[in-house]
Amino acid sequence: MARDKSMQRGYRDVGYLLCGKIRLFRPAHIEVRSWFRHVENLGKQVVANNRVAIQGWFQENYPALMHLIPERRHREFVAGLMERAKEEHI
């Protein structure tokens, strides 16, 4: 989030905002218990600072979302997600 608490950082803000709600946005084809394991795996990748794995996780679980984000902005999206995860110790 920008220093003045506004959303002005493009796809970085999308990642930042989505991170706080990721547990609620379970894809319909994944069962609830399985989804929590998926989210736990994402958390491990964040802790490991594995940006490639995080991007792959989103491409696997949210392909339509990742299709909407221009490829050149995927790193920006992941950076926002990681920023939020670290702030909230996810």
By CB neighbour count within 10 A (0-12 exposed, 13-18 middle, 19+ buried), where does 22 fall?
buried
pLDDT at residue 2 greater than cutoff 70: no
By CB neighbour count within 10 A (0-12 exposed, 13-18 middle, 19+ buried), where does 15 fall?
buried
pLDDT at 6: 54
Per-residue pLDDT tens digits for 14-31: 999 999 999 999 999 999
pLDDT at 5: 57
Task: Tell me if 81 sits within 8 A of 1, measured CB to CB.
Answer: no
